[in-house]
Structure 1
Amino acid sequence: MDHSAFFESWNSLFKVLVSTVSAYLILILYIRLAGKRSTSKMNNFDWIVTVAVGSVVASMAVLKDVTVLDGIVAMALLLGLQYLLTWSTSRWEWAQNLFLAPSSVLYAHGEFRRDEMRRNRISDREILSAVRESGVGSLEDVAVITLEPDANLSIIKAEHSGELDTVKEVPGYEVPPDEDEG
Protein backbone atom coordinates (compact mmCIF):
# COMPACT_ATOMS: atom_id res chain seq x y z
CA MET A 1 0.00 0.00 0.00
CA ASP A 2 1.28 3.46 -0.96
CA HIS A 3 1.41 5.75 2.10
CA SER A 4 2.69 8.85 0.26
CA ALA A 5 -0.72 10.51 0.54
CA PHE A 6 -0.35 10.42 4.35
CA PHE A 7 3.37 10.97 4.84
CA GLU A 8 6.00 12.17 2.42
CA SER A 9 9.03 12.98 4.55
CA TRP A 10 10.19 14.58 7.77
CA ASN A 11 11.53 17.48 5.71
CA SER A 12 8.08 18.07 4.29
CA LEU A 13 6.52 18.09 7.76
CA PHE A 14 9.23 20.44 9.03
CA LYS A 15 8.52 22.84 6.14
CA VAL A 16 4.81 22.83 7.05
CA LEU A 17 5.65 23.48 10.71
CA VAL A 18 8.06 26.34 10.00
CA SER A 19 5.85 27.90 7.31
CA THR A 20 2.67 27.75 9.39
CA VAL A 21 4.24 29.16 12.55
CA SER A 22 6.02 31.87 10.54
CA ALA A 23 2.86 32.80 8.65
CA TYR A 24 0.86 32.98 11.87
CA LEU A 25 3.39 35.17 13.67
CA ILE A 26 3.93 37.46 10.69
CA LEU A 27 0.18 37.78 10.16
CA ILE A 28 -0.31 38.81 13.80
CA LEU A 29 2.44 41.41 13.42
CA TYR A 30 1.00 42.74 10.15
CA ILE A 31 -2.50 42.98 11.59
CA ARG A 32 -1.20 44.86 14.64
CA LEU A 33 0.64 47.27 12.33
CA ALA A 34 -2.27 47.67 9.90
CA GLY A 35 -4.85 48.20 12.64
CA LYS A 36 -8.26 46.81 13.51
CA ARG A 37 -9.69 47.69 10.12
CA SER A 38 -7.51 45.03 8.45
CA THR A 39 -9.69 42.26 9.90
CA SER A 40 -13.05 43.98 9.55
CA LYS A 41 -15.82 43.19 7.11
CA MET A 42 -16.95 46.73 6.44
CA ASN A 43 -17.00 46.35 2.65
CA ASN A 44 -16.23 43.91 -0.15
CA PHE A 45 -12.55 44.89 -0.27
CA ASP A 46 -12.12 43.91 3.38
CA TRP A 47 -13.63 40.51 2.61
CA ILE A 48 -11.43 40.07 -0.46
CA VAL A 49 -8.27 40.79 1.55
CA THR A 50 -9.35 38.40 4.31
CA VAL A 51 -9.89 35.58 1.81
CA ALA A 52 -6.69 36.36 -0.10
CA VAL A 53 -4.54 36.48 3.05
CA GLY A 54 -6.06 33.16 4.15
CA SER A 55 -5.15 31.69 0.79
CA VAL A 56 -1.58 32.98 1.09
CA VAL A 57 -1.21 31.48 4.57
CA ALA A 58 -2.57 28.14 3.36
CA SER A 59 -0.26 28.20 0.33
CA MET A 60 2.73 28.95 2.54
CA ALA A 61 1.87 26.01 4.78
CA VAL A 62 1.34 23.28 2.21
CA LEU A 63 2.76 24.22 -1.18
CA LYS A 64 6.37 23.27 -1.70
CA ASP A 65 7.13 26.01 -4.22
CA VAL A 66 5.80 28.87 -2.02
CA THR A 67 8.52 30.02 0.36
CA VAL A 68 8.01 31.77 3.66
CA LEU A 69 9.46 34.95 2.15
CA ASP A 70 7.05 34.72 -0.81
CA GLY A 71 4.15 34.53 1.62
CA ILE A 72 5.44 37.36 3.80
CA VAL A 73 5.75 39.64 0.77
CA ALA A 74 2.30 38.65 -0.53
CA MET A 75 0.64 39.30 2.84
CA ALA A 76 2.44 42.65 3.18
CA LEU A 77 1.28 43.68 -0.30
CA LEU A 78 -2.34 42.68 0.31
CA LEU A 79 -2.57 44.39 3.71
CA GLY A 80 -0.64 47.40 2.40
CA LEU A 81 -3.01 47.81 -0.54
CA GLN A 82 -5.99 47.50 1.77
CA TYR A 83 -4.47 50.12 4.07
CA LEU A 84 -3.99 52.51 1.13
CA LEU A 85 -7.53 51.92 -0.10
CA THR A 86 -9.13 52.51 3.32
CA TRP A 87 -6.86 55.49 3.98
CA SER A 88 -7.93 57.01 0.65
CA THR A 89 -11.64 56.37 1.15
CA SER A 90 -11.52 57.89 4.63
CA ARG A 91 -10.10 61.13 3.21
CA TRP A 92 -11.43 61.73 -0.30
CA GLU A 93 -14.98 61.63 -1.57
CA TRP A 94 -13.84 60.68 -5.09
CA ALA A 95 -12.20 57.55 -3.61
CA GLN A 96 -15.38 56.72 -1.70
CA ASN A 97 -17.40 57.06 -4.90
CA LEU A 98 -14.91 54.94 -6.85
CA PHE A 99 -14.35 52.10 -4.39
CA LEU A 100 -17.26 51.93 -1.93
CA ALA A 101 -20.69 50.63 -2.83
CA PRO A 102 -23.53 52.84 -1.61
CA SER A 103 -26.28 51.58 0.65
CA SER A 104 -29.60 50.75 -1.01
CA VAL A 105 -33.10 51.36 0.33
CA LEU A 106 -35.08 48.12 0.03
CA TYR A 107 -38.13 49.09 2.09
CA ALA A 108 -39.47 52.46 3.17
CA HIS A 109 -42.79 54.05 4.10
CA GLY A 110 -44.60 50.71 4.08
CA GLU A 111 -43.48 49.64 0.62
CA PHE A 112 -40.85 47.30 -0.77
CA ARG A 113 -38.57 48.90 -3.36
CA ARG A 114 -38.83 46.09 -5.88
CA ASP A 115 -36.43 47.66 -8.39
CA GLU A 116 -33.67 47.89 -5.75
CA MET A 117 -34.46 44.39 -4.51
CA ARG A 118 -34.08 42.98 -8.03
CA ARG A 119 -30.93 45.00 -8.72
CA ASN A 120 -29.35 43.67 -5.50
CA ARG A 121 -30.82 40.17 -5.89
CA ILE A 122 -32.60 40.26 -2.51
CA SER A 123 -35.86 38.37 -2.01
CA ASP A 124 -38.84 39.16 0.24
CA ARG A 125 -37.98 36.09 2.30
CA GLU A 126 -34.46 37.33 3.00
CA ILE A 127 -35.78 40.71 4.10
CA LEU A 128 -38.50 39.21 6.28
CA SER A 129 -35.95 36.88 7.86
CA ALA A 130 -33.72 39.85 8.74
CA VAL A 131 -36.72 41.69 10.20
CA ARG A 132 -37.54 38.71 12.42
CA GLU A 133 -33.87 38.35 13.45
CA SER A 134 -33.93 41.99 14.58
CA GLY A 135 -36.79 41.16 16.93
CA VAL A 136 -39.55 42.83 14.93
CA GLY A 137 -42.78 40.93 14.35
CA SER A 138 -44.50 43.19 11.81
CA LEU A 139 -43.44 45.38 8.90
CA GLU A 140 -45.76 48.03 10.37
CA ASP A 141 -43.08 48.47 13.04
CA VAL A 142 -40.35 49.10 10.44
CA ALA A 143 -39.54 52.54 9.03
CA VAL A 144 -36.71 51.67 6.63
CA ILE A 145 -34.65 48.66 5.58
CA THR A 146 -31.33 49.25 3.83
CA LEU A 147 -28.80 46.91 2.27
CA GLU A 148 -25.42 48.09 3.51
CA PRO A 149 -22.09 47.95 1.63
CA ASP A 150 -21.04 44.94 3.73
CA ALA A 151 -24.19 43.07 2.53
CA ASN A 152 -25.93 43.27 5.91
CA LEU A 153 -29.50 44.47 6.17
CA SER A 154 -30.15 47.38 8.53
CA ILE A 155 -33.64 47.55 10.00
CA ILE A 156 -34.68 50.92 11.41
CA LYS A 157 -37.69 50.49 13.63
CA ALA A 158 -40.53 52.97 13.25
CA GLU A 159 -40.40 53.82 16.96
CA HIS A 160 -36.75 54.89 16.59
CA SER A 161 -36.98 56.54 13.19
CA GLY A 162 -36.98 60.20 14.28
CA GLU A 163 -35.74 62.41 11.46
CA LEU A 164 -34.12 59.47 9.64
CA ASP A 165 -31.02 61.60 9.13
CA THR A 166 -28.87 58.48 8.66
CA VAL A 167 -31.04 57.44 5.72
CA LYS A 168 -31.68 60.75 3.94
CA GLU A 169 -28.37 60.53 2.05
CA VAL A 170 -28.90 56.93 0.86
CA PRO A 171 -29.57 56.91 -2.90
CA GLY A 172 -33.22 56.19 -3.61
CA TYR A 173 -34.57 57.33 -0.25
CA GLU A 174 -37.40 59.81 -0.52
CA VAL A 175 -38.69 61.84 2.38
CA PRO A 176 -42.44 61.29 2.76
CA PRO A 177 -44.53 64.34 1.79
CA ASP A 178 -45.78 64.97 5.35
CA GLU A 179 -42.16 65.11 6.66
CA ASP A 180 -40.96 67.24 3.72
CA GLU A 181 -43.36 70.08 4.53
CA GLY A 182 -42.38 70.38 8.22
Structure 2
Amino acid sequence: MRSTALKRTFAAAVIATAACGLVAGCGDDSTATSTPTAQLTTTKPPQTSSSNDGDASSSAVTSPSTAATAPPEKPQPVPSGFPGPTGTAAPTAADQAFLAALEKSGITPTPENARSIGGYICNAIKQGSSPEEITTFVTAFVGTNPESTKLEPGDAAKVYIEAAKTTYCK
Protein backbone atom coordinates (compact mmCIF):
# COMPACT_ATOMS: atom_id res chain seq x y z
CA MET A 1 0.00 0.00 0.00
CA ARG A 2 2.88 2.30 0.71
CA SER A 3 4.18 1.79 -2.81
CA THR A 4 0.83 2.84 -4.32
CA ALA A 5 0.69 6.01 -2.22
CA LEU A 6 4.25 6.86 -3.23
CA LYS A 7 3.41 6.34 -6.92
CA ARG A 8 0.33 8.57 -6.63
CA THR A 9 2.31 11.30 -4.89
CA PHE A 10 5.05 11.12 -7.51
CA ALA A 11 2.49 11.22 -10.36
CA ALA A 12 0.73 14.20 -8.77
CA ALA A 13 4.06 16.02 -8.44
CA VAL A 14 4.92 15.35 -12.10
CA ILE A 15 1.51 16.57 -13.27
CA ALA A 16 1.74 19.68 -11.08
CA THR A 17 5.21 20.46 -12.43
CA ALA A 18 4.04 20.03 -16.02
CA ALA A 19 1.01 22.25 -15.40
CA CYS A 20 3.20 24.95 -13.86
CA GLY A 21 5.52 24.78 -16.86
CA LEU A 22 2.63 25.15 -19.29
CA VAL A 23 1.09 28.04 -17.38
CA ALA A 24 4.44 29.80 -17.09
CA GLY A 25 4.89 29.51 -20.86
CA CYS A 26 1.67 31.45 -21.33
CA GLY A 27 2.82 34.41 -19.25
CA ASP A 28 2.04 38.03 -20.02
CA ASP A 29 5.51 38.92 -21.28
CA SER A 30 4.63 37.64 -24.75
CA THR A 31 5.29 39.93 -27.69
CA ALA A 32 2.05 38.75 -29.26
CA THR A 33 0.03 40.76 -26.75
CA SER A 34 1.81 44.04 -27.34
CA THR A 35 0.19 46.57 -29.62
CA PRO A 36 2.46 47.61 -32.48
CA THR A 37 2.72 51.25 -33.38
CA ALA A 38 3.53 52.87 -36.67
CA GLN A 39 5.74 55.48 -35.03
CA LEU A 40 9.46 55.05 -34.78
CA THR A 41 10.88 55.25 -31.31
CA THR A 42 14.08 57.18 -31.08
CA THR A 43 16.33 58.02 -28.23
CA LYS A 44 18.45 61.10 -27.89
CA PRO A 45 22.17 60.64 -27.40
CA PRO A 46 23.30 61.39 -23.86
CA GLN A 47 24.23 64.99 -23.22
CA THR A 48 27.86 65.46 -22.44
CA SER A 49 29.19 68.38 -20.55
CA SER A 50 31.55 70.50 -22.53
CA SER A 51 35.07 70.23 -21.31
CA ASN A 52 38.27 71.61 -22.64
CA ASP A 53 40.52 68.72 -21.73
CA GLY A 54 40.62 67.39 -25.33
CA ASP A 55 39.88 63.76 -24.39
CA ALA A 56 36.15 64.07 -24.99
CA SER A 57 35.10 63.39 -28.53
CA SER A 58 31.94 64.73 -29.99
CA SER A 59 29.91 62.83 -32.49
CA ALA A 60 27.46 64.53 -34.77
CA VAL A 61 24.05 62.98 -34.99
CA THR A 62 23.20 62.49 -38.62
CA SER A 63 19.85 61.82 -40.16
CA PRO A 64 19.39 58.47 -41.83
CA SER A 65 20.30 58.54 -45.50
CA THR A 66 18.04 57.32 -48.20
CA ALA A 67 18.42 53.70 -49.16
CA ALA A 68 20.63 52.94 -52.09
CA THR A 69 18.72 52.00 -55.18
CA ALA A 70 19.86 49.41 -57.62
CA PRO A 71 20.04 50.27 -61.29
CA PRO A 72 17.14 49.01 -63.37
CA GLU A 73 17.45 45.43 -64.50
CA LYS A 74 18.46 44.79 -68.07
CA PRO A 75 17.41 41.58 -69.74
CA GLN A 76 20.29 39.23 -70.34
CA PRO A 77 20.78 37.73 -73.79
CA VAL A 78 19.66 34.14 -74.19
CA PRO A 79 22.67 31.82 -74.45
CA SER A 80 23.18 30.04 -77.74
CA GLY A 81 21.71 26.56 -77.80
CA PHE A 82 19.20 27.43 -75.06
CA PRO A 83 16.07 25.28 -75.48
CA GLY A 84 12.83 27.01 -76.24
CA PRO A 85 11.60 29.63 -78.65
CA THR A 86 14.12 32.23 -79.72
CA GLY A 87 11.63 34.91 -80.70
CA THR A 88 8.07 35.53 -81.68
CA ALA A 89 6.50 33.49 -84.41
CA ALA A 90 5.99 35.11 -87.77
CA PRO A 91 2.43 36.37 -88.20
CA THR A 92 0.14 34.00 -90.05
CA ALA A 93 -2.39 35.05 -92.68
CA ALA A 94 -5.09 34.95 -89.98
CA ASP A 95 -2.93 37.15 -87.72
CA GLN A 96 -2.45 39.66 -90.52
CA ALA A 97 -6.17 39.71 -91.38
CA PHE A 98 -7.05 40.17 -87.70
CA LEU A 99 -4.55 43.02 -87.29
CA ALA A 100 -5.82 44.66 -90.50
CA ALA A 101 -9.42 44.50 -89.25
CA LEU A 102 -8.38 46.06 -85.94
CA GLU A 103 -6.34 48.80 -87.63
CA LYS A 104 -9.28 49.57 -89.95
CA SER A 105 -11.31 50.35 -86.80
CA GLY A 106 -8.55 52.50 -85.27
CA ILE A 107 -6.93 49.92 -82.99
CA THR A 108 -3.18 49.38 -83.31
CA PRO A 109 -2.07 46.78 -80.74
CA THR A 110 1.22 44.97 -80.74
CA PRO A 111 1.00 41.73 -82.71
CA GLU A 112 1.63 39.72 -79.52
CA ASN A 113 -1.26 41.39 -77.68
CA ALA A 114 -3.58 40.99 -80.66
CA ARG A 115 -2.74 37.28 -80.96
CA SER A 116 -3.27 36.78 -77.25
CA ILE A 117 -6.65 38.51 -77.20
CA GLY A 118 -7.78 36.92 -80.47
CA GLY A 119 -6.71 33.50 -79.23
CA TYR A 120 -8.69 34.00 -76.03
CA ILE A 121 -11.80 35.03 -77.98
CA CYS A 122 -11.63 31.99 -80.28
CA ASN A 123 -11.00 29.56 -77.40
CA ALA A 124 -13.78 31.07 -75.30
CA ILE A 125 -16.24 30.75 -78.19
CA LYS A 126 -15.20 27.11 -78.77
CA GLN A 127 -15.67 26.34 -75.06
CA GLY A 128 -19.16 27.85 -75.10
CA SER A 129 -18.49 30.86 -72.87
CA SER A 130 -21.28 33.41 -72.77
CA PRO A 131 -20.92 36.59 -74.85
CA GLU A 132 -21.09 38.64 -71.66
CA GLU A 133 -18.18 36.73 -70.13
CA ILE A 134 -16.10 37.08 -73.28
CA THR A 135 -16.85 40.81 -73.47
CA THR A 136 -15.89 41.28 -69.82
CA PHE A 137 -12.52 39.60 -70.24
CA VAL A 138 -11.72 41.28 -73.55
CA THR A 139 -12.63 44.67 -72.06
CA ALA A 140 -10.17 43.98 -69.25
CA PHE A 141 -7.47 42.91 -71.72
CA VAL A 142 -8.00 45.98 -73.89
CA GLY A 143 -8.06 48.27 -70.84
CA THR A 144 -4.49 47.29 -69.97
CA ASN A 145 -3.19 48.88 -73.18
CA PRO A 146 -5.11 52.15 -73.64
CA GLU A 147 -2.40 53.56 -75.94
CA SER A 148 -3.47 51.22 -78.76
CA THR A 149 -6.75 53.02 -79.42
CA LYS A 150 -8.77 56.12 -78.70
CA LEU A 151 -11.89 54.00 -78.27
CA GLU A 152 -13.29 53.27 -74.85
CA PRO A 153 -12.32 49.77 -73.64
CA GLY A 154 -15.90 48.48 -73.99
CA ASP A 155 -16.16 49.72 -77.57
CA ALA A 156 -12.70 48.39 -78.42
CA ALA A 157 -13.69 45.00 -76.96
CA LYS A 158 -16.65 44.84 -79.34
CA VAL A 159 -14.32 45.57 -82.27
CA TYR A 160 -11.89 42.86 -81.13
CA ILE A 161 -14.66 40.29 -80.77
CA GLU A 162 -16.20 41.02 -84.18
CA ALA A 163 -12.80 41.08 -85.88
CA ALA A 164 -11.83 37.79 -84.25
CA LYS A 165 -15.11 36.14 -85.26
CA THR A 166 -14.77 37.19 -88.91
CA THR A 167 -11.02 36.78 -89.46
CA TYR A 168 -9.31 34.82 -86.69
CA CYS A 169 -11.65 32.08 -85.47
CA LYS A 170 -11.87 29.99 -88.63
Greater RCO between the two (CA within 8 Å, min separation 6)? 2
Q: Same fold (TM over 0.5)?
A: no
Higher-helix-fraction structure: 1
TM-score by length of 2: 0.20
Highest CA radius of gyration, 1 or 2? 2
